[in-house]
Structure 1
């Protein structure tokens, strides 16, 4: 299994909204991410669903700057 395939598995959160946001971002943008942003994405995927919902759906921002940066990229993917 490739690293990207493992990440895609981690994008599956059991919550349709999160699944769509995270998997869509991975498919559309992963290759273009810097190494730092890829590391931030992996850290983000280690976070609990309630935090991801607050950050990605409800518009809250993580206090961690690197996580806030990747959250912003996911939120604005289609803008």
Structure 2
């Protein structure tokens, strides 16, 4: 990922794909993700999209632990894009 990706907005097609990719089996995760998209979908960049994709590779329970700040990203998830998206996902109303 290059520096331009932090400012390049994703297009409608990529946004639609990302929303489909973010569908989860656990209601609690869906609530966090739905709120995230309601607030930020118009300003999502390639940087944010990649961080979100990384988080969506997790199991539902591992994702929920991160969303509730029971755990912090480690190993391959300890990256700036994941931390940025996680901070947005954790922001309360």
The TM-score, its normalising length taken from structure 1, stands at: 0.76
How far apart, CA to CA, are the structure 2 residues paired with 1:35 and 1:77? 23
**Quick check: 1:25 aligned with 2:25?**
no
Q: Which runs of 5+ in 1 are unaligned?
A: none
Deviation of residue 58 (structure 1)? 4.6
Which of 25, 28, 32 matches 1:14?
25
Between Structure 1 and Structure 2, whose CA radius of gyration is higher? 2
Contact 2:25 2:60 survives alignment (8 Å) = no
Q: Which has the bigger relative contact order, CA under 8 A and spacing at least 6?
A: 2
Question: Does the Cα contact within 8 Å between 1:62 and 1:68 map onto a contact in 2?
Answer: yes
In structure 2, the CA distance between the partners of 1:77 and 1:41, relative to structure 1 (3 Å rule), is farther
What corresponds to 1:74 in structure 2?
89
1:42 is the counterpart of 2:50: no
How many residues align? The count is 78
After TM superposition, give the deviation of residue 61 of structure 1 in Å: 1.1
Instruction: Report if the CA contact (8 A) 1:12-1:23 is conserved.
Output: no
Structure 2 gap segments, 5+ residues each: 1-11
Determine the structure 1 residue equivalent to 2:65.
54
